[in-house]
Amino acid sequence: MRIIACFAATLDGKIGSAHNLRDRIGTRDDLAHLLNVRNQADAVLCGGETFRQHASIRKGSQQAVAPLQIILTQRFNLPPEASLFTKSSQSNPPVPILIVSPQPAPEALKAQYPTHVEWLCAGEGNPVPAILPYLEQKGIQTLMVEGGGHIMNLFLQAKAVQELYLTVCPLLLGGKDDPALVTGTGFWVAEAPRTEVLKADWLGQELYLHLKINYP
């Protein structure tokens, strides 16, 4: 399975402002770039916080059928009234949704969501090793990771993500509480993932990088 990630980040490595997490740091060109990268994926994954800020169906600019929507949650605090859930059942076939959690979801909670939603208990710890075989059994060819920084860290820790599409935006946010591209305990320098530039393009003042990720 090919696993890619797509982010926009400021020059100081922030992917958003804590003052308003819904403010985009990239331009309309970056949004178009994100939609084009999504066209490669038949599954798109994000964490609960990213979902709560952007709760619509994640779909590429040229995808006739929406990819599998995957949400990682620790506490099941995903609003059932979010547009992803309310609109997914209106499609024919329904937009596929998978919710991954460390503990099994209670039946009473499942009843609040559309019946076609799938649930996966990944156990405590890093859920990535449990997610990937499940997706492979479903025939997923390309998984796209969209955030946030905690989710990106989980995939890096598991040495799972292979490519990163990164838009470098000409901003300096600097807030200690601003979400970052990768968050977590971090890596020793000798153990840190390295990147190799596959492609680099300028559009206006934004730098669009396609990076290969290598692991020591």
Instruction: Provide the whole-model pTM.
Output: 0.95
| pLDDT < 70: residue spans in the chain | none
User: What local confidence, expressed as pLDDT, does residue 92 receive?
Assistant: 82
Go through the domains of the chain in sequence order and give each one's CATH number.
2-214 (3.40.430.10)
**Residue with tokens 């059928």, as numbered in its chain:** 65
Q: Give the integer Cα–Cα distance in Å for 103 and 116.
A: 20
**Residue with tokens 């995957």, as numbered in its chain:** 70
User: What local confidence, expressed as pLDDT, does residue 90 receive?
Assistant: 85
Q: Give the integer Cα–Cα distance in Å for 203 and 176.
A: 29
